Amino acid sequence: MSKLTDVPKRILIGRALRSDKLGETLLPKRIALPVFASDPLSSVAYAPGEVLLVLSVAGVSAYHFSPWIAVAVVVLMFTVVASYRQNVHAYPSGGGDYEVATTNLGPKAGLTVASALLVDYVLTVAVSIASGIENLGSAIPFVVEHKVLCAVAVIVLLTLMNLRGVKESGKLFAIPTYVFVAGVFIMIAWGAYRGLVMGDTMKAPTADYTVRAEHQGLAGFALVFLLLRAFSSGCAALTGVEAISNGVPAFRKPKSKNAASTLALMGALAVTMFCGIIALAMSTHVRMAEKPGEDLLHNGTPLGSGYVQNPVISQVAEAVFGNGSFLFIVLAAATALVLFLAANTAYNGFPLLGSILAQDRYLPRQLHTRGDRLAFSNGIVLLAGAAVLLVVIYGADSTRLIQLYIVGVFVSFTLSQTGMVRHWNRHLATERDPAKRRRMIRSRAINAFGAFFTGLVLVVVLATKFTHGAWVALLGMVIFYGTMTAIRKHYDRVSEEIAAPDEPSDDSVRPSRVHSIVLVSKVHRPTLRALAYAKLMRSDQLEALSISVDPAETKALKEEWERRGINVPLKILDSPYREITRPIIEYVRGLRRESPRDAISVFIPEYVVGHWYEHLLHNQSALRLKGRLLFTPGVMVTSVPYQLESSEAAKKRARRRADWNAPGSVRRGPVSRPKEPSNKS
């Protein structure tokens, strides 16, 4: 199967895996960490900045609250990580929050979680790409000058890659993620060394600016509200934590234990980086504002609308490493890359969740088929379209997009943790072993605290961000929820309609005989083949049927029929208005009226061609006829294909498509219970 053209691809992404070998690709922890954590780790590129941005509303003096907000985020992160370690142990099948909520709280809670996650996948793409573009822009000004264009271009690129089915290997994720993590840690360490040991004064490029407070001297409730808003923005660092709970099956054994340790490691890395960046931002006097053009002043005059505010991480890197230095460039590139990888994770998560939802008949059934290219394509295009829409509407401004973010994540956190509490309650009702009961009670306490805390954060996020954009996210959730409910209702109605009656052979009038009709236009190979096949089927009656649209052609057909001595009666229907479909339908209806207990079998010779434009030149009448025949009761329609030479090309393309590998399979792990494909009857 290996071809010359495969060589560059093999070099790029490793030897193509036979799908029954997928079981061998389980992830060791050192690869699982970057594969799953690019989303939460990358969020430290924008989360600290958002905190400072919100605080600046009350002036630079409010910046001194930022360590407290960092502490709150750290506590939240520990809570969430601890909670999800319980999930991972209790639900090792990888169903994630949707499974936990559905099992323990019922299908409506599950569907709510699913809607929230779908919205959040869209936002992960939009926010990560916008932020990646901003980070790239701190090194390459062109990018930031054409923000929307570049963001859309990156989304299109990612979409094409995922549609083509580039199978990311773990290494593809590992290198930029580790470079990014190492870069941030080196920055924090070198900054601490320079500041604390050498006593250097490091100055961020914005250190000399002053911030005009929109609300000077905020106090009381207003101040608390502002701090809560800053905290909400900082919570962006939490997104993507649930990814590991979806990916347990992809880990090496012991799966749950390894997943839990990876989760803990990820949490530790994320909070360290988050706090380190906040600390460096404080000591290098980074100044940020929600409206930088108006509210940032240099020597008392506003910087004007032309001013571009660089992300905190790049300002800090500039202060620590120096502008344009090698490490500065490397960190900017790694940051952008890890953010694009984070966006890419949504391209995997969205169709995967879709496939699980399809299994529960909330989405079209065909999405259920694993690695089905068409199903993936639909999901990917939907995701990309929604993300592009958001990016264009919000001008690829990560700060404005973040207002929409997080709602979904915290809906899902809260419901999942609440579900876990129910889970332990149920198990405690039957469990008698005191050691196990102790562990369960401990887990329940963790999950209960997690549910309480994440629920609180959800309320805070909704309260502080609703008018800033969270309503858009809620609207998206409602749309997903409504659509999926409608689809499920449709399937339920149909499944009731088609349920087999309990008494066998209750079906009103069972056909007793079959009358076969072969449609004929000329005597050529496809017709002869259709006739031969129809004869094989030994129906009770067999006739050939032709529509006369041109008397000369009809005459020629009749003569040819006789000359060849074809032993099937040929019936000819006149159609003075050159219609094909109507006379056939009427003829079939007539047959049914005459003998209602007969079934009619219509054989249509069909051409199989290689290109879509060739398809336009053939079979169109047959297709339309078939469409109409399907509405006529008591009819079955048989296509007898005749493969034209040009169909060889299409056959090869189809084979290539069959060898296609779904993107994201690395994260998903093998399907439960992989077996050697075997036939049993």
Q: Per CB under 8 A, which region of 202-210, 454-462, 467-475, 485-493 contacts a second copy?
A: 485-493
User: Which segment (66-74, 163-171, 243-251, 604-612) binds a second copy by CB under 8 A?
Assistant: 604-612
Does residue 616 interact with a second copy by CB under 8 A?
A: yes
* Shortest distance (Å) from residue 598 CB to a second copy: 9
Where in 72-111 is the site for a second copy (CB under 8 A)?
none
Q: Does 576 bind a second copy (CB under 8 A)?
A: yes
Site string for a second copy, 19-38 (x = CB under 8 A): xx-x----------------
DSSP for 226-285, please give it.
HHHHHHHHHGGGGTTTTHHHH-GGGBPSSHHHHHHHHHHHHHHHHHHHHHHHHHHHHHTT
Residues that bind a second copy (rule: CB under 8 A) add up to a total of 107
Q: Least distance in Å: CB of 466 to a second copy?
A: 32
Contact between 562 and a second copy per CB under 8 A: no
Look up residue 43 and give its DSSP letter: G
C-beta of 95 vs 292, nearer to a second copy: 95
293 and 211 Cβ atoms separated by less than 8 Å:
no
Interaction pattern, residues 517-536, with a second copy; x per rule: CB under 8 A: ------xxxxxxx--xx--x
Q: Which residues pair with 640 in a beta bridge?
A: 605
**Closest C-alpha to 124, from 11, 35, 238:** 238
Task: Please choose, from the candidates 59, 567, 547, 619, the residue with its C-alpha nearest in 3D space to the C-alpha of residue 288.
Answer: 59
Rule CB under 8 A: is residue 511 a binding residue for a second copy? yes
The stretch among 106-114, 183-191, 455-463, 621-629 that binds a second copy (CB under 8 A) is 621-629
Number of Cβ within a 10 Å radius of residue 481: 19
Q: Which is nearer to a second copy, 219 or 536 (CB)?
A: 536
The least CB distance from residue 210 to a second copy, in Å, is 52
Is residue 189 close enough to count as binding a second copy by CB under 8 A? no
519 three-state secondary structure? strand
409 close to 116: Cβ distance less than 8 angstroms = yes
Two structure tokens written together for 347: 């391209």
Binds a second copy (CB under 8 A): choice among 370, 427, 439, 468: 370
- Residues between 325 and 364 that touch a second copy (CB under 8 A): 364
At 619 the three-state DSSP class reads coil
- How many other CB atoms sit within 10 Å of the CB of residue 277? 26
Q: Is 541 in the site for a second copy (CB under 8 A)?
A: no
> How many CB atoms sit inside 10 A of residue 455's CB?
17
Of the candidate residues 3, 253, 432, 538, the single one contacting a second copy (CB under 8 A): 538
Q: Closest approach of Cβ 360 to a second copy, in Å?
A: 12
For residue 207, state whether it binds a second copy (rule: CB under 8 A).
no
Stretch near a second copy under the rule CB under 8 A, chosen from 34-42, 96-104, 449-457, 597-605: 597-605
Angle at 140 between CA 134 and CA 143, to 5 degrees: 55
The SS3 call for residue 671 is coil
Asked if 618 touches a second copy (CB under 8 A), the answer is: yes
Q: DSSP for 49-77?
A: HHHHHHHGGG-GGGGGGHHHHHHHHHHHH
Provide φ and ψ at 7, rounded to 5°.
-60, -50
Helix (H, G, I), strand (E, B) or coil at 303: coil
CB 578 within 8 A of CB 592: no
Does 489 engage in binding with a second copy (CB under 8 A)? no
Paired strand residues for 548: 574
Nearest distance from C-beta of residue 570 to a second copy, angstroms: 7
Q: Which of 7, 182, 222, 617 binds a second copy (CB under 8 A)?
A: 617
CA separation for the pair 228, 222 (Å, rounded): 10
| Shortest Å, Cβ 39 to a second copy | 26
Using CB under 8 A, pick the residue from 84, 347, 647, 663 that binds a second copy: 647
In 262-420, the DSSP E strands lie at 296-298, 301-302
Peptide bond just before 254 cis, omega within 30 deg: yes
Q: Given candidates 549, 568, 595, 660, which one binds a second copy under the rule CB under 8 A?
A: 549
Q: Is the separation of the CB atoms in 128 and 402 below 8 Å?
A: no
**603 has which bridge partners?**
518, 638
Given candidates 551, 552, 593, 594, which one binds a second copy under the rule CB under 8 A?
551
Kindly tell me which residue out of 192, 580, 595, 660 binds a second copy, with binding defined by CB under 8 A. Answer: 580
Cβ partners under 8 Å of residue 633, min gap 6: 592
382 binds a second copy (CB under 8 A): no
Least distance to a second copy, CB of residue 477, Å: 21
Q: Which of 194, 252, 437, 628 touches a second copy by CB under 8 A?
A: 628
To the nearest whole angstrom, how small is the minimum distance from the Cβ of residue 28 to a second copy?
23
- Give the number of other Cβ atoms within 10 Å of residue 623's Cβ: 13
171 forms part of the interface with a second copy (CB under 8 A): no
Q: Which stretch binds a second copy (CB under 8 A): 34-42, 48-56, 105-113, 488-496?
A: 488-496
- The mark string for 430-469 relative to a second copy (x by CB under 8 A, - otherwise) is ----------------------------------------
Toward a second copy, which CB reaches closer, 433 or 645? 645
With beta carbons less than 8 A apart as the criterion, state whether 347 and 125 touch.
yes
